[in-house]
Amino acid sequence: MTAAAVLAVVFIAAACSGTTPSTSPSSTAPSSTAPSKSAPSSTATGQSGPGITPTEIKVGVIATRTGVGAGDFVTFIPGMQAYFDMINKEGGINGRKLVLADNLDDGGDPTTFSQLTHTLIEQDGDFAAFISTFWFTPNLFAETGTPTYGYNVSGNWAGPDNLFAAGGSIQDYHALAAPVSYLMKRSHATSVALISYGPGIPGSYPACTTTDTDLAKAGITVSYADFDATLGGSFTSAVQQIQQHHSDFLMSCMEGSDDITLARALQQYGVSIHQLWLNGYDQDLLDQYPSLMQGVYVDANGFVPFGAAAAFPGAYPGLQQYLSVMKTYEPAHVNDQLSMQGWQSAALLAAGIRAAGSDLTQKNVIAQTNRITDFTAGGITAVVNWSLAHTTQAYPICPSFVRVDKTSFVPVVSHGHQVFICFGRNVDVADPVPVAAPPGTPGG
């Protein structure tokens, strides 16, 4: 994963102000009759462990489904569930269906999350865990060797070999400079302005400050930088500075609603500038503010953009399958990037189970998954090498972007119909030239 999404910044800011709810839904309360992980089920030789029956593999999810920030985390679940539905309709994996046995809600509260980790692992004994919350802490998951999958927004998935964040378990912000420089060159821009929230907002501040340092080191003009923008604030002063410094490219590390506020101020002051948003790939947002988003580049976070299926018929069968399955089982979330992360996480669990074969244990599923070097979730993501992805940024890096054209997000291509733009480890950031995508990359 080259950079953390900033989708949770509203939630984080509210939590830091002390307004985060601390309720624990009654539906997640411990049950005195729940199976203990210390006494796993056993189905056959080599097939024993928590959550396994002759017909099912039971997993659990902990997500922020209610409370402040729920909108930034809950739609991970539909993508995961749709993948399970697809697999189960085909008879499951080796006769076992994937079952979401626990759907737990931390209510946006870290204490509740901690309590629920014990419920999921020690009390209910699920085979694997899926996580979509800012409050993820790896301790118990790592200690128990539970295969764990999820959304890396908190930046603490790196290290243990059983933690599988969608797209890779590390966050390397140095990987942003080359793509930003490439988009500047594509736009014939010569100076860049950067804007982020302050250091209290994980994902926003380090993404922009690291890019600032790396671009400047490469000799690219950083004409203006604001690394202490106010969440939900006014950007009039920043726009005036951008105008005075004659910046012709703007990188925003803020969330979508503030990008809109910034774009409105740019428009009001008559500032014409190329823009890159790390967030904002949201059709609802575009439908509401088309005039403010025209020409904006938006990070597609390492996925094949949704529009690639229609733009390049037949080139991305994995995306076509995803869209078809989502329309069948979760039609309200077809174009949701977080649902794609849920799908990717479910696909990785399934790949590990298949590879484990008759030796169906948590330990073997983890071991077999970490031997996968070309994972793409069936053709919807850039290649992830899980032999490295717990601790190391693999190269080439292959981000994806879209550009707004009228009412659509149009995939940005490096050549032909290839939507992944890849850069090598030793790329010249001042003049970044894309390299060939790794074997197995969708669209290749």
CB hemisphere CA count around 419 (13 angstroms): 31
Q: pLDDT tier at 23 (50, 70, 90 boundaries)?
A: very low
pLDDT tens per residue across span 100-135: 999 999 999 999 999 999 999 999 999 999 999 999
**What pLDDT digit, counting tens, does each position of 353-402 carry?**
999 999 999 999 999 999 999 999 999 999 999 999 999 999 999 999 99
Average pLDDT value for residue range 431-442: 97
Whether 28 shows a pLDDT value over 90: the answer reads no
Is the pLDDT at 187 greater than 60? The verdict is yes
Rounded to the nearest integer, the mean pLDDT of the chain is 90
Q: What is the DSSP letter of 71?
A: G
User: Is residue 33 pLDDT above 80, yes or no?
Assistant: no
pLDDT of residue 273: 98
Q: What is the pLDDT of residue 201?
A: 87
Distance CA 60, CA 101 (A): 6
Name the one residue in this structure whose structure tokens are 């994902």: 203
pLDDT exceeds 70 at position 188: yes
User: What pLDDT, in 10s, does the model give residues 248-287?
Assistant: 999 999 999 999 999 999 999 999 999 999 999 999 999 9
Please give the distance of CA 390 from its chain centroid, rounded to a whole number: 15
Contact 178, 276 (CB under 8 A): no
pLDDT (tens digit per residue) in 316-357: 999 999 999 999 999 999 999 999 999 999 999 999 999 999
Tokens 């925003």 belong to residue: 252
Q: Per-residue pLDDT averaged across 11-28, rounded?
A: 35
- C-alpha distances (whole Å) from 407 to each of 181, 259, 268, 292 are 26, 17, 21, 11
Cis link prior to 396 (omega < 30° from 0)? yes
Which DSSP state fits 369? H
Tell me which residue of 98, 164, 173, 161 sits closest to 136, measured CA to CA: 164
Q: Supply the pTM of this predicted model.
A: 0.90
Question: Strand pairing partners for 221?
Answer: 191
DSSP for residue 303: B
Q: Walk me through the domains of the chain, giving residue ranges and CATH numbers.
A: 9-167+338-369 (3.40.50.2300), 174-299 (3.40.50.2300)
Report yes or no: 178 and 432 within 8 Å, Cβ to Cβ.
Answer: yes
3-class secondary-structure state, position 14: helix
The pLDDT value given to residue 424:
97
The pLDDT > 70 percentage for the chain reads: 89
Give the burial class of 86: count Cβ atoms within 10 A of its Cβ; 0-12 exposed, 13-18 middle, 19 or more buried. Answer: buried
From CA 177, how far away is CA 396, in angstroms rounded? Answer: 14
